Amino acid sequence: MPVKSWITYPGDENNQVKAGRIQVTGLAFGGMSAATEVEVSVDGGKNWEQARFIGPDLGPYAWRQFALSTELKSGDYEVASRATNHKGDVQPEERDTNNRGYLNNSWRDHMLKVTVV
């Protein structure tokens, strides 16, 4: 089970949010060892900011909620997250092609496109 994460907010059914301070939230999974860190990018992976975990660390196999407070101006954004686990495994940018696409944990494939108005 590989390390993975994804964004659950911002966005509504049209993936639009109001400009200003927003909370980017999501879930991270460390796989065979606990998730220890998660970073968020709002520019398609060019720059990353450290998010904070919400709630206790329940160890290996546990999902952890995370949040990052950021200021967004009007425009289009590509919001992504990448997690790291206790062993130092980092969520990859690109998928590793495998039988039927199982275990795709790439952050690029799970990026969320958001329009800020």
What is d(CA 35, CA 28) in angstroms, rounded to the nearest whole number?
7
Question: Considering only CA atoms, which of 35, 26, 29 is closest in space to residue 4?
Answer: 29
Residue 36: predicted pLDDT: 95
Residue 95: predicted pLDDT: 86
**pLDDT under 70: residue ranges of the chain:** 11-13, 99, 101
Residue 84: predicted pLDDT: 97
CB distance 27 to 6 below 8 Å: yes
Supply the pTM of this predicted model: 0.91
Residue 13: predicted pLDDT: 64
Question: Domains in the chain, ordered, with CATH?
Answer: 4-116 (2.60.40.650)
What is d(CA 117, CA 104) in angstroms, rounded to the nearest whole number?
32
Q: Where are the beta strands (DSSP E) in 1-117?
A: 4-9, 16-17, 20-29, 35-41, 49-50, 52-54, 63-72, 75-85, 112-116
Residue 67: predicted pLDDT: 98
Strand partners, 54: 65
